[in-house]
Amino acid sequence: MSTGTQHRKRDIFVEGAIPSSFIAESIAKHATRTDIGAHEIFLGQVRADAMDATGEGTTVQTVSAIEYTAYRDMANEQMITIREEAFTRWPEMTCLHVHHSQGVIKAGELCFMVFASAPHRRQAREAVAYVTDEVKKRLPIFGREILSDTTHIWKRNT
């Protein structure tokens, strides 16, 4: 991508978990691009962490799912800025795709995907790390961790 190119606004949100077939299709769509030498992918998956919903250390439950909600329009607008920053930092990058789940995602399912393509692995790897971190820091996406006893805790991004 050349610098100064304005990329179109995309809705990064998908309802439900991200299926593994979607990831395979994303890679396959780039097979005709002979200017690409590397793809880098980050996949976020819901963990079945042990949590103490009471804060007293006496009742430990496991996360059975996360219910994701977001200020969708605000998040998509901020994503445009993050994309532009990434293409400015790595102008050789040819593609950048971000998808985040909405709704209830069960433990073990995929909820977040960052996919970058570039002529060389370094640009793709660095761009994916940057975008992943910036999405977690800057996008108004909220996760309500649903515990095995049906109580919940609001997720903190780390």
The string of pLDDT tens digits covering residues 81-106 is 999 999 999 999 999 999 999 999 99
Q: What is the pLDDT of residues 128-152, one digit of tens each?
A: 999 999 999 999 999 999 999 888 8
How far apart (Å, rounded) are the C-alpha atoms in residues 88 and 61? 44
Cα maximum dimension of the chain: 57
pLDDT confidence of 53, banded at 50, 70, 90?
low
Q: Where are the domains of the chain?
A: 18-154
Residue type, 32: T
CATH number of 18-154: 3.90.1170.40
Please state, rounded to an integer, the average pLDDT across all residues of the chain: 91
Q: Where are the alpha helices (DSSP H) in the chain?
A: 20-28, 72-89, 121-138
Residues composing the chain: 158
Q: Identify which of 135, 112, 115 has the alpha carbon closest to the alpha carbon of residue 125.
A: 115
Q: Identify which of 77, 20, 63 has the alpha carbon closest to the alpha carbon of residue 155.
A: 63
Q: Give residue for tokens 């962490």.
A: 49
- Residue % of the chain over a pLDDT of 90: 78
For residue 110, the model assigns a pLDDT of 98
User: Which are the contacts of 137, defined by CB distance < 8 A and separation ≥ 6?
Assistant: 157
How far apart (Å, rounded) are the C-alpha atoms in residues 101 and 108? 13
User: Which are the contacts of 62, defined by CB distance < 8 A and separation ≥ 6?
Assistant: 48, 49, 50, 51, 107, 147, 148
For residue 156, the model assigns a pLDDT of 75
pLDDT of residue 158 exceeding 90: no
For residue 10, the model assigns a pLDDT of 87
Global pTM value: 0.89
Check if the beta carbon of residue 124 is closer than 8 Å to that of residue 116. Answer: yes
Kindly state the DSSP code that residue 92 receives in the 8-state scheme. T
